[in-house]
Amino acid sequence: MTQLLISVKNVQEALLALHAGADVIDLKDPDIGALGALDVETTAQIVQTIDGRVIVSATVGEDHASINALCQRIQARADSGVDIIKIAVSDIGYEDDFFGELRKLTSDGIKIVAVFFGDEKINFALLPSLRLAGFYGAMLDTKNKQKTLLACQLKENIHHFVAECSKNGLISGLAGSLKAQHIDCLMPFKPTFIGMRGGVCENNMRKSHLNSAKIQETKNMLLKHNILAGKRLNILRSTLHS
């Protein structure tokens, strides 16, 4: 079943997204980049407010001076009670001790998701390394928010990404200026979650306020697809056992 991830920037938006039906509340500051990180204090406030009612994820920013600096940011969010921590695939990920250092965090139970930018070439060869390092998942997003993921990548590549995540035991996410109208195209790929921000904001502007009605509309579309997929699976099982 594909779940709905909604990115929020404060406590008020977190509560709005929760009541509108979001399955995952994602903490992000849209004013400072594609994966802009909220400060630790705001992060802790949102985690306390959500109080375990849904999953909470958080980004840690895109640029880090060192692997140690990245790990400190990850640990700070984990200490705040965040369930899943998202990090950008960057040059740091190609340093010799990267996976060894991240493995220390995942071995402590920290769930880390690597975010690949769809407006860059996708290095599918990294997925097995993520698995071996104990990563929880991987997702596709976009750095340039003027283009959607579907405008940046062929459908075949997106499908392949989700399939390779599944093959490597990783949850998969799709995001990148997506709107409700993209649900029909993406759901056949069966990602673990679909993430949105701008597409569920006023005037489709990611720096604007979230719109509850848009979130509810998107969630309802996901539910319909999930129900249909479940019915098809039941029919297939019945056929195989008849």
Distance CA 4, CA 24 (A): 6
Residue 28 contacts residue 35 (beta carbons within 8 Å) = yes
Is 28 designated active site? yes
Q: To 5 degrees, how large is the angle CA 22–CA 74–CA 15? A: 25
CA angle 66, 71, 77 (to 5 degrees): 135
Catalytic member of 86, 111, 214, 219 = 86
Reported as a single tens digit per residue, the pLDDT across 160-210 is 999 999 999 999 999 999 999 999 999 999 999 999 999 999 999 999 999
Which of the pair, 240 or 84, is modelled with greater confidence?
Answer: 84
Q: Is 86 a catalytic residue?
A: yes
Q: Is the pLDDT score of 233 beyond 50? A: no
Q: What is the pLDDT of residues 1-11, one digit of tens each?
A: 899 999 999 99
Give the pLDDT confidence of 41-61 residue by residue, as tens digits.
999 999 999 999 999 999 999
> Any idea what the Cα angle at residue 1 is, between residues 130 and 191, rounded to 5°?
40
Active-site residue, selected from the candidate residues 28, 111, 145, 219? 28
CB distance 34 to 66 below 8 Å? no
Predicted pLDDT of residue 63: 84
For 72-122, the pLDDT digits (tens) are: 999 999 999 999 999 999 999 889 999 999 999 999 999 999 999 999 999
Radius of gyration of the chain (CA): 17
The answer to whether 88 and 113 are in contact (CB under 8 A) is: no
Residue 115 identity: V
CATH assignment, 3-240: 3.20.20.380
Alpha helices in the chain (DSSP H): 11-20, 40-50, 67-79, 98-107, 126-132, 149-152, 155-167, 183-186, 212-240
pLDDT band at 12 (very low <50, low <70, confident <90, very high): very high
User: Which pair of tokens denotes residue 48?
Assistant: 């306390």
* pTM to 2 decimal places: 0.93
Predicted local confidence at residue 230, as pLDDT? 65
Band (pLDDT 50/70/90 cuts) for residue 62 is: confident
